[in-house]
Structure 1
Amino acid sequence: MQKVLEINNLTKKFGAFTAVNDVSFSVEKGNVYGLLGPNGSGKSTTLGMILNVLNPTNGSWKWFGQAPDNNSLKKIGAIIESPKFYPYLTAEKNLQIVADIKEVPYAKIDEKLELVGLIARKNNKFEQYSLGMKQRLAIAGALLNDPEVLILDEPTNGLDPQGIIQIRELIQKIAEMGTTIILASHLLDEVQKVCSHVVVLKQGKMLYAGEIDNLNNSFGLFELQAENQQLLINALNQLPYFSSITEKNKHIEAKLNQEISSAELNKILFEKGVILSHLVQRKESLENQFFQLIQENK
């Protein structure tokens, strides 16, 4: 896979405060990367540095295999803060200004408005747009010059549920077109739904970088229920497959420490006299994995 971004030992200090601390990771072409972490974890500062908005204290990065310059930055579209357009101008007029700045033909405007679902509202003034529509217009502006990489900082922040869904679907659509996407978010659910890779940050330090599916070594868990719950618990405690067994509401949650299929477990329990009325195998959610990672690195 071609690397579009390589970050090496990136550090940013503001006086005695270290906002980003020795961060290194790479971004491969065609994937959706999430910078995930609580507010204040260094996500926006990291984006600011790789876009040449902030000067690093230490470290380096490369765009497309070379040191960042004007040519490489022209291949990147970015929305770092809230969408900023002229409120009394229409969407089309605002994008014409962006097109002039980026030196792209006006013919691109309708194409991008169609992509973000705003072509029917192109003659409406920016001030008449909802927050979600404003965000989609900003994405249209960032895409006017057909960048190879799109960077989004908290793209669903402050949106209502419908707006969140629209932005999520738009991100997926843009990714399917081959654009590499880097987005910063503190929303675990959103990262899980749109990203293929994740970089976890906490207080400026990187805790994990890689595919979401490999975030930790969890084998998942079983949700189980039987008529005789105590007999079920006793049988599970005799087996070597579980790291923990806990009662949750009406079912038992058994976390796995090694692989075993639901069919095999059902057979073993049946042979021990346990007849299950409920058996579901689940993978641990990104939320559980994320909080476990955060707790381990206190």
Structure 2
Amino acid sequence: MFNVNHLSFSYGEKPVLENVSFEIKGGEILGILGLNGAGKSTLLNLIAGFLPSEHGTIHFQNEVLGQQSIAMLETHNYFYPHLTAQEYLHIFVKDGQMVDFQSWAEMLDIPLTQEIEGFSTGMKKKLALLSILLLDRPIMILDEPFNGLDLESSFLLKEIIVKLKEKGKIIILTSHILETLTGICDKILWLKRGRVEHIFERVAFDNIEKILKEDWTKLDTLHHLL
């Protein structure tokens, strides 16, 4: 079980997250939905240990969460210059771990011997994804994982996420596309101005769009203009 309890964070005097709480079981996928500035990236960075929490706790299996339990795919990934894809992937391989790089490369269309600097956005995203798969951590955070992927790669990523779920992984992902989350998640957390506005179970997914529209006051302006 993964628990976030009463988590709060501020940048200076500006509160970004306030009293955020939720839990996820092994083999569950949690989607995090929110407008720009809602605090999604800050929440993920706190979970991943990239930011120090000010208030609240994060636990995994009844212990304080450690970074060795987490692998995170960031929205924008950094790659060391002049490395080939294969050289980069070897950074993430454990001693004695056997990896069929060629099969992965063929499935994901990654040219192993090419320098990463020449990769497209989608190729970089797939390479970063493969690197965190190699880490094989129990908790996987995927921040906007579908950004930059073509249709085939998006379909393949969904299948990979389903396989990870079947292996009992805890998966947290964000997306700006509601249909992406409703099609794959077990729960969806709606984050609004740093607070948990709703946590939707799968049986309530059909109501999400209606509830979100009630929160978006800009629709009133749109109706007036049109």
On whether the aligned pair clears a TM of 0.5, the verdict is: yes
Within 1, Cα distance between the matches of 2:153 and 2:38? 25
Q: Is contact 2:185-2:202 (8 Å) kept?
A: yes
Distance 1:26 1:120, change over 3 A: closer
Give the one of 63, 77, 81 matched to 1:83. Answer: 77
**Residues of 2 paired with 1:209 and 1:115: CA distance?**
37
- Deviation of 1:294 after TM superposition, in Å, equals 5.5
- Map residues 108-257 of structure 1 onto 2, 5 A cutoff: 108=99, 110=101, 114=104, 117-118=107-108, 121-215=111-205
Structure number with larger C-alpha Rg: 1
Q: Distance in 1 between matches of 2:167 and 2:118?
A: 30
* Structure 1, unpaired ranges of 5+: 216-283
Equivalent position of 1:107 in the other structure: 98
Q: Quote how far apart the aligned CAs of 1:144 are.
A: 1.2
Looking at both structures, which has the greater relative contact order when contacts are Cα pairs under 8 Å and sequence separation is at least 6? 2
Q: Give the 3 Å change call, closer, same or farther, for CA 128–60 of structure 1 in structure 2.
A: same
Hey, what's the Cα distance between the residues in 2 that align with 1:50 and 1:174?
19
Match of 1:42 among 39, 42, 53: 39
- Of 4, 10, 20, the residue aligned with 1:7 is 4
Which letter maps to 1:138? A
Contact 1:19 1:204 in 2 (8 A): yes
CA–CA distance in structure 1, aligned partners of residues 188 and 109 of structure 2:
33
State which of 10, 14, 26 in structure 2 corresponds to 1:17: 14
Maintained 8 Å contact 2:143/2:174 = yes
Q: CA deviation at 1:110?
A: 2.2
- Following the alignment from structure 2 to structure 1, what is the Cα–Cα distance between the partners of residues 207 and 153? 23
Quote the offset at 1:58 in angstroms: 1.3
Partner residue, 2:58: 61
Q: Distance in 1 between matches of 2:187 and 2:6?
A: 19
Q: Which consecutive unaligned segments of at least 5 residues does structure 2 have?
A: 218-226
Cα shift at 1:119: 7.0
> What's the CA shift string for 1:234-272, capped at 9, x where partnerless?
xxxxxxxxxxxxxxxxxxxxxxxxxxxxxxxxxxxxxxx
Greater Cα offset, 148-157 or 118-127? 118-127
* Identical positions, percent: 30
Cα separation, 2, equivalents of 1:168 and 1:87 = 29
Q: Tell me the amino acid that sits aligned with residue 202 of structure 2.
A: I
Shift of 1:211: 1.5
Pairwise CA RMSD: 2.5
Aligned in 2, Cα 1:32/1:104: closer, same or farther, shift over 3 Å? farther
State the 4+ residue runs in structure 1 displaced beyond 6 angstroms: none
What amino acid maps onto 2:189 in structure 1? V
Deviation per CA, 1:33-52, whole angstroms, max 9, x where unpaired? 10111111111111111122
Q: 1:293 to 1:176 in 2, by over 3 A?
A: farther
Is residue 95–residue 109 contact of structure 1 (8 Å, CA) maintained in 2? no
